[in-house]
Structure 1
């Protein structure tokens, strides 16, 4: 059996499309179809029921898909073991994150990680949620950061943050001088919302409906930055995760009003492909994500002070040398 055919078969199943799998693997659609046909001919049974729309796996296809997934993961593990044996481990961490995680916040994590582990390369891409899941499923990213992580038998998820949702208004809005308000006070208000396909929009709609509140949606955007700009332009109000508007609140271009007697929040999860082992560099980055970035600047400042002290107390002055404050690996 050709491993390439197994990879193509798994991609077809994961994406639910021959054309999408072909696009991912950079082959023609006919090549993807032929790969599956070759497997079916070899096994003497149908793996995919193409008569249904969307297509479905046959019972034999489900068994074969699970087996191929395990086989491909084992093959990847063996390659990693060989790299480790010859000292060529993957010193990289590839991160795919939704836009609203925040460039400034993630920059602090990346900067701190690269200071701790200078030999590890880190790449960070901001993407639409669907693209984050795609990168993880296709092994093009080591970990993903998404809101309301969905259940998937091929993925694992760890809660990273629980971000409270707040009302965001322009400075001249009638509620702008309020610390808090009842959710009923936004009835019929012009509302800037997320687009309907995003889970956060579906959650907010459900919560508002349960509260018996019906704001008037005037604009829809698929990212928080555009929503904030629309609110700043006084197009309407919005409900957003509190950490995503820190800068605008500091700049006084937006005001935050807390919603009374409700606890709406947006969970941010760290997602990965299910695998027997996680590369050491990736594990260390996940550990760092659970630390408070406010401590990073303190550590860097103390490290700088130690370096300055070492410079002042050189061997010519018969001073001893301090060890590194931050361990490096």
Structure 2
């Protein structure tokens, strides 16, 4: 199915990794790779340049990625219109998020919310920060997730997370085995940065200037996934939010070093349009965002145990009720 392959292709691009996209979609890495290869074969064009680390979209791939995102949004809208036509409308929450929030990070929240409220439809799009603001302002999304949220007369912002910023290095780096180091230790180090138009890049530049530290800019990327891949490839070091490198630290493909003498944080805000009242379903999703994901699986287990117990009681009552009828026969 071309649509399924298009979904996988978009996930690969957003995640900056075949393996991470496969993990989120719960398919094998081979399946994700084959999906992209099938699209390339059908189009007769290379979409992803795999020879580079991190991989890059080809010009054809960039065109196809933008088109697929529009196609998938249109497909969701068509499905919604059909549901309305047959009287099966669902409440929905449309979320626009910056890329660095991450599919993997949001997956647990969305999954838990849909466990609690199965009749609510969730749509989640990953976009450039400017597009997140645009979606919310134009009422194309109920919620936006952005870093360093901007003040705006038409928007309100709720603090969601304050993520510590840490030094991220490849395992071979001389600082890799140190749990912490002074910020001066990165003087003149090759550095992989965000692109200059992003607020997080501007903040990091300011922090480094204030600390009196100069780094050598090697690469610039507009998303965290590509920055992580570049550091893994030993192109340089980076300063990133701690939650965004959890998996790489577990896999030991990256090392985290805490910087002494400074306290740098990246705030993530939940933005929405100013309105007299927030729809109940949107408020419930915000409540879930403020829960600890570590408790989600525990809550589902408890629910399953209660349902199993109720089922057993129901089965026992049935046996008790029908017993005399069988005896009379």
Cα distance in 2 for partners of 1:142, 1:191 equals: 37
Alignment of 1:256 with 2:256, yes or no, is: yes
Q: What's 1:187 paired with?
A: 187
Cα distance in 2 for partners of 1:90, 1:266 equals: 35
Cα distance in 2 for partners of 1:308, 1:250 equals: 35
**Structure 1 segments unaligned to the other structure (5+ residues):** 1-86, 321-329
Q: What's 1:207 paired with?
A: 207
Q: Is the 8 A contact 2:166 2:257 kept in 1?
A: yes
Deviation sequence 1:9-44 (CA, Å, 0-9, x none): xxxxxxxxxxxxxxxxxxxxxxxxxxxxxxxxxxxx
| Superposed displacement of residue 174, structure 1 | 0.4
Q: What's 2:34 paired with?
A: none
SS of residue paired to 2:229: helix
| Superposed displacement of residue 115, structure 1 | 1.1
Q: How many residues align?
A: 234
**Structure 2 segments unaligned to the other structure (5+ residues):** 1-86, 321-329
| Superposed displacement of residue 303, structure 1 | 1.2
Q: Is the 8 A contact 2:149 2:268 kept in 1?
A: yes
SS of residue paired to 2:305: helix
Please identify which structure carries the higher helix content. 2
After TM superposition, the structure 1 stretch with the greater mean CA deviation from structure 2, 284-293 or 308-317, is 308-317
Q: What's 1:232 paired with?
A: 232
Cα distance in 2 for partners of 1:153, 1:195 equals: 27
Provide runs of 4+ in structure 1 moved above 4 Å. 87-90, 317-320
Q: What's 1:108 paired with?
A: 108
| Superposed displacement of residue 113, structure 1 | 0.8
Q: Is the 8 A contact 2:90 2:121 kept in 1?
A: no
Deviation sequence 1:202-248 (CA, Å, 0-9, x none): 00000100100001010000000000000000000000000000000
Q: Is the 8 A contact 2:95 2:143 kept in 1?
A: yes
Cα distance in 1 for partners of 2:136, 2:96 equals: 8
Q: Is the 8 A contact 1:192 1:235 kept in 2?
A: yes
From the CA coordinates, give the structure whose radius of gyration is larger: 1
Q: What's 2:95 paired with?
A: 95
| Superposed displacement of residue 311, structure 1 | 3.4
SS of residue paired to 1:173: coil
Q: What's 1:38 paired with?
A: none
| Superposed displacement of residue 251, structure 1 | 0.4
Q: For residues 19-30 of structure 1, what are the structure 2 equivalents within 5 Å? A: none
Cα distance in 2 for partners of 1:319, 1:266 equals: 59
Cα distance in 1 for partners of 2:302, 2:319 equals: 19
Q: Is the 8 A contact 1:313 1:319 kept in 2?
A: no
| Superposed displacement of residue 277, structure 1 | 1.4
Deviation sequence 1:172-202 (CA, Å, 0-9, x none): 0000000000000000000000000000000
Q: For residues 136-155 of structure 1, what are the structure 2 equivalents within 5 Å? A: 136-155=136-155
Cα distance in 1 for partners of 2:316, 2:139 equals: 53
SS of residue paired to 2:167: strand
Q: What's 2:70 paired with?
A: none
Cα distance in 1 for partners of 2:232, 2:274 equals: 42
Cα distance in 2 for partners of 1:300, 1:257 equals: 35
Q: What's 2:284 paired with?
A: 284
Taking only aligned residues, the RMSD between alpha carbons, in angstroms, comes to 1.8
Deviation sequence 1:255-276 (CA, Å, 0-9, x none): 0000012110000000011111
| Superposed displacement of residue 287, structure 1 | 1.2
Q: TM-score, normalised by structure 2?
A: 0.68
Deviation sequence 1:86-118 (CA, Å, 0-9, x none): x99971100000111121221111111111111
After TM superposition, the structure 1 stretch with the greater mean CA deviation from structure 2, 287-296 or 220-229, is 287-296
